[in-house]
């Protein structure tokens, strides 16, 4: 074995497969990702992208040759662009119109179809093999609307039986979301009482949450989670395809990942980071992610970064230049509206928020080259050692209402002694404001984790942050249940308890 790459964070390479992911029950066409993480090899399985194609053509996995987490090579993209369009695209568009009308006229029927798809055993899916950037999830989704808990009526008028307590008390939480046209999707991740990972999904098409989807992975109990999302572009003539990534700490100390794309296994597929055997020596580390990076903390307090390099895959953990208080909560957000994802850089631009050794919240802003920016500094708040934290960002609009390069940022945090959740924010050039609080946070469980959604942004493909707050959703626990709140840019809205049957 090699010696540690960095002090405080053990990085060991071994041949022992991660014990927290059990592939023994997978169907026969499942295979582990190659460590260089580059190509799908499953024969003739067609990917049905988004709801009834939504303007996409089915793409054969065999025909794809992803060479990095951002999509195919330029040569393959050109080849795809020059290939003839399949004649069934118009039929697919027609099917979409019929499907949407059916959903509007018969909302209950639409929800029932989605529920059935999501309740099927994972073996009913047809997963292909997986490259380093992953693939994913179920083709059906439901939405981030209101909900009142077990046996109550959720936002779309659908009665959900059961209760909302099938979540580990004070489980780590992570969330991602993306827009397709005027619709959006939110995915929320947590641990169940059995320590296995669960995923909930919401899309505006159905206005309801799915039932929890078991992800067939069991991190260590109370493991930290970090979620992010990227855009895949197998065909430059079509919009990008969203792919969700979830990172976690497996038993005992391995950094592992799962990911999803619509049309692949609902339970997700193992990420290429699993084959690299990165380990952390800090059992108390927290985690945060914003593609293409993820951060954890070493036992000596150093905050460490694992970044996907678009030329060579995941890079071994390295220091970012910050020493934080032991066990600090972490938040990772974009620091500009056009994020550096997709660029061949040694790091990625980011804003990383943490508790320093004096108890102050600080933000460390870095460039795409990993260099500290002058915007780094203190937030106007001191927090206790066991605090929890979440945050989100949107593009800042200029005086003409147009998107600028700057971002507006909100950081939510909880005092572990009182249970009170407060927030600070930066929405102009004058700096941080607050702290403030709101009645929507009343009753939060002490030591609850907090997760908020920030849309993905990238230079390649070019997907900037928007100034809209339609994705500004946050989650935490109340009475051991999942509470959902939304910020519309001016005020907070209580979206209720998410029903988990």
Split at pLDDT 50, 70, 90, the class of 53 is very low
Question: For residues 388 and 417, what is the distance between their CA atoms, to the nearest angstrom?
Answer: 11
- Per-residue pLDDT of 252-272, as tens digits, reads 899 999 999 887 888 899 999
Question: For residues 272 and 35, what is the distance between their CA atoms, to the nearest angstrom?
Answer: 6
Inter-residue long-range contacts of 255-258, CB under 8 Å, 24+ positions, other chains counted: 255/279, 255/280, 255/294, 255/296, 255/306, 255/317, 256/18, 256/20, 256/21, 256/217, 256/219, 257/134, 258/134, 258/197, 258/215, 258/217
Question: For residues 220 and 307, what is the distance between their CA atoms, to the nearest angstrom?
Answer: 23
Q: Which residue has the higher pLDDT, 267 or 20?
A: 267
- Quickly tell me which residue has 């550096």 as its tokens: 340
Q: Among residues of the chain, what percentage have pLDDT more than 90? A: 51
Question: For residues 496 and 207, what is the distance between their CA atoms, to the nearest angstrom?
Answer: 14
Q: What is the pLDDT of residue 263?
A: 78
CA quadruple 19, 25, 30, 31: dihedral positive or negative? positive
The pair of structure tokens assigned to 489 is 């840019």
The pair of structure tokens assigned to 257 is 């990942």
The model's pTM is 0.70
Question: For residues 425 and 209, what is the distance between their CA atoms, to the nearest angstrom?
Answer: 29
Question: For residues 190 and 307, what is the distance between their CA atoms, to the nearest angstrom?
Answer: 23
> Which value, to the nearest 10 degrees, does the dihedral of the CA atoms of residues 81, 85, 90, 92 take?
-80
CA 272 to chain centre: 16
- Asked whether residue 292 carries a pLDDT value surpassing 80, the answer given is yes
Q: What is the pLDDT of residue 491?
A: 98
Q: Which residue has the higher pLDDT, 461 or 108?
A: 461
- Asked whether residue 84 carries a pLDDT value surpassing 80, the answer given is no
Q: What is the pLDDT of residue 199?
A: 95
Q: How many residues does the chain have?
A: 501
Split at pLDDT 50, 70, 90, the class of 348 is confident
All domains in the chain, ordered by first residue = 147-300+328-340+439-497 (2.40.128.190)
Element (H, E) at 90: helix 88-105
Question: For residues 212 and 191, what is the distance between their CA atoms, to the nearest angstrom?
Answer: 10
* Interacting residues of 288 by C-beta distance below 8 A, sequence separation 6+: 226, 294, 295, 330, 331, 332, 352
């Amino acid at each position: 074995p090699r010696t540690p790459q960095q002090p405080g964070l053990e990085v060991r390479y071994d041949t022992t497969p991660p014990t927290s992911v059990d592939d023994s029950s997978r169907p026969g066409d499942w295979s582990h990702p190659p460590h260089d993480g580059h190509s799908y090899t499953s024969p003739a399985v067609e990917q049905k992208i988004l709801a009834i194609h939504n303007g996409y053509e089915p793409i054969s996995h065999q025909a794809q040759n992803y060479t990095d987490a951002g999509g195919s090579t330029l040569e393959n993209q050109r080849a795809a662009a020059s290939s003839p369009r399949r004649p069934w695209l118009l039929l697919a568009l027609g099917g979409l119109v019929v499907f949407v009308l059916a959903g509007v006229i018969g909302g209950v029927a639409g929800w029932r179809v989605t529920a059935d798809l999501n309740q099927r055993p994972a073996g009913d899916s047809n997963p292909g093999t997986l490259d380093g950037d992953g693939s994913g999830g179920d083709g059906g989704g439901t939405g981030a609307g209101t909900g009142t808990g077990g046996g109550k009526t959720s936002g779309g008028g659908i009665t959900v039986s059961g209760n909302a307590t099938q979540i580990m008390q004070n489980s780590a939480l992570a969330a991602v979301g993306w827009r397709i046209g005027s619709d959006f999707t939110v995915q929320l991740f947590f641990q169940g009482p059995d320590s296995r990972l669960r995923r909930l999904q919401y899309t505006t098409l159905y206005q309801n949450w799915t039932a929890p989807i078991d992800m067939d992975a069991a991190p260590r109990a109370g493991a930290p989670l970090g979620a992010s999302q990227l855009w895949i572009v197998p065909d430059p003539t079509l919009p990008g395809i969203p792919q969700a990534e979830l990172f976690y700490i497996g038993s005992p100390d391995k950094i592992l990942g799962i990911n999803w794309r619509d049309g692949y296994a609902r339970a997700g597929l193992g990420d290429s980071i699993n084959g690299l055997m990165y380990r952390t020596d800090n059992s108390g580390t927290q985690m945060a992610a914003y593609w293409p990076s993820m951060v954890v903390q070493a036992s000596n307090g150093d905050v460490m970064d694992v970044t996907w390099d678009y030329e060579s895959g995941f890079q071994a953990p390295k220091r970012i230049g910050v020493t934080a208080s032991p066990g600090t909560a972490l938040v990772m957000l974009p620091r500009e509206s056009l994020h550096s994802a997709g660029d061949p850089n040694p790091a990625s631009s980011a804003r990383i928020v943490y508790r320093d050794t004096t108890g102050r919240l600080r933000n460390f802003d870095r460039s795409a080259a990993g260099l500290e920016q002058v915007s780094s500094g203190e937030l106007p708040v001191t927090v206790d050692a066991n605090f929890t934290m979440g945050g989100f960002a949107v593009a800042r609009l200029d005086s003409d209402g147009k998107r600028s390069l700057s971002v507006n940022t909100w950081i939510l945090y909880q005092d572990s002694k009182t249970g009170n959740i407060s927030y600070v924010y930066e929405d102009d050039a004058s700096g941080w404001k607050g702290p403030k609080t709101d009645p929507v946070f009343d009753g939060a469980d002490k030591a609850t984790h907090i997760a908020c959604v920030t849309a993905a942004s990238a230079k390649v493909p070019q997907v900037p942050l928007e100034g809209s707050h339609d994705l500004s959703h946050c989650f935490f626990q109340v009475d051991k249940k999942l509470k959902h709140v939304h910020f519309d840019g001016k005020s907070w809205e209580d979206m209720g308890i998410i029903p988990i049957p």
